[in-house]
Structure 1
């Protein structure tokens, strides 16, 4: 996801990789990345507009990953960093998997932070829909810890948390619905700060 072509995709919200140091004899590689902060919680976005912008980046990056057949499989507020310039990115890709050429992938026994119920029960599940479950929980936790209450998002989040994974929306549908919902929020309300700011 860090090759020059994919870096230019506006949906790609990865932290820029500055260098890659390979140690072939040990079968290791080290990535040198910009230093970003996990301070989304202690230093939340200053307005509802910025908060929704942060959530949108999280959704948009899931769309980007899924369009390239990659499931993150550990989306959570703990795996979200900021550069303090209204840019947000996922980290911790050690559970991520690419499903190139697999039209209907299935996984079992994921051990991420927010585990979808079908995986928690040891059943087979769709990796992309597992990301949608986790993304819903990220949105819930982000709202809770920052104090931004956006009840308009509740129906979308409920759909993302549907027990039957095949009924959950895709990331692209989530983004489309999110944009539709947030466009209807008044400009005055978008300028409001949370009680934590």
Structure 2
């Protein structure tokens, strides 16, 4: 890295736009070591890096190497052997002693090959040099489950089927996720975006030159994954129901955690997390999302899952059974219905519906399934 860049990075009193900040220093310091382990970070972390916009009239935010990550606990990279896009996550063994262990547990056979397994794959766990507490967990690079937006009711139903199945699978193996909120539900968009996309500005191509083109989920069915096992715990079968002090994840609304530190069973809390995710993302809307029209059939199931009394919530066995009943009652026409969000304008709705009506006709003629399940 050039002297000017080093000075810009290390300066706390005068930060230069586009230059790496303090949170990125770890990745700069470990660039060469990670390359030796088989992974290459983006050019902005390479030793000797010089900003591509220096000496030009181009603003840093239009340059690929001028894009800062939204957070630096995890970093995107490429696997040297095949160019696959990966994410490398820093994990403190002291703070999250079971994260790597539980992740690897679900990556061992026969669990890894079980089609119900929706836990994010772990490619490798690296021991950081010079820090015995720090592990680097290498995973596939995934995308937020709702980006791009869902186009049909059937796409949402298939998403819920996979996530219900995934949490059910974890519970069957005596693992409570304990933070299965919208932030920790991801999607493999490899087939959806055959040309790829930028790891930070995910709506753009990797060089930021243009919008990243993508298919719909109906055209290219995707797999969804539960991620981040930092708060997860595995129990012995004889321990159920276990009792754990409250651990507050991203969702702070859990009723049994309100003004209480009484140990409780984490499995009903998982059911609440998932039910509240559906409520805030789809059926009612929340602070960062808006209601989706046409999903009223989910409300009775969601109401059960978010019941204030955890003892009255359904188990994931019950959730799967109730959901299967609901799904069986949906006609192909309903599943192919175009999704409209409550905050869509009339003009947005018209143009999106017009574009979809043409695709829908093609789907019907080609007998494309309204529930886009990946093979």
TM-score, normalised via structure 1 length: 0.90
SS in 1 for 2:110: helix
CA apart distance, 1:27: 4.2
In the alignment, which residue of structure 2 is the partner of 1:35? 141
Determine the C-alpha separation between the residues in 2 that align with 1:186 and 1:26.
Answer: 56
SS in 2 for 1:4: coil
CA apart distance, 1:72: 0.6
Listed as ranges, the matches of 1:117-156 within 5 Å are 117-122=255-260, 123-143=262-282, 144=285, 145=289, 147-156=292-301
Determine the C-alpha separation between the residues in 2 that align with 1:179 and 1:121.
Answer: 36
Query: How many pairs are equivalent?
Result: 196
Determine the C-alpha separation between the residues in 2 that align with 1:148 and 1:59.
Answer: 21
Determine the C-alpha separation between the residues in 1 that align with 2:139 and 2:280.
Answer: 26
Gaps of 5+ in 2: 1-105, 190-220, 342-351, 353-375
Determine the C-alpha separation between the residues in 2 that align with 1:21 and 1:59.
Answer: 31
- Say whether residues 1:107 and 2:244 are aligned partners: yes
Kept in 2: contact 1:48–1:191 (CA 8 A)? yes
Larger C-alpha radius of gyration, 1 or 2?
Answer: 2
Determine the C-alpha separation between the residues in 2 that align with 1:91 and 1:71.
Answer: 12
In the alignment, which residue of structure 2 is the partner of 1:68? 173
Q: Whose RCO is larger (CA < 8 A, sep 6+)?
A: 1
Distance verdict in 2 for CA 1:53–1:148, change over 3 Å: farther
Determine the C-alpha separation between the residues in 2 that align with 1:16 and 1:152.
Answer: 33
Kept in 1: contact 2:164–2:320 (CA 8 A)? yes
SS in 2 for 1:33: strand
Higher fraction of helix: 1
CA apart distance, 1:131: 0.2
CA apart distance, 1:45: 2.6
CA apart distance, 1:78: 1.4
- Say whether residues 1:26 and 2:132 are aligned partners: yes
Gaps of 5+ in 1: none
- Say whether residues 1:97 and 2:202 are aligned partners: no
TM-score, normalised via structure 2 length: 0.49
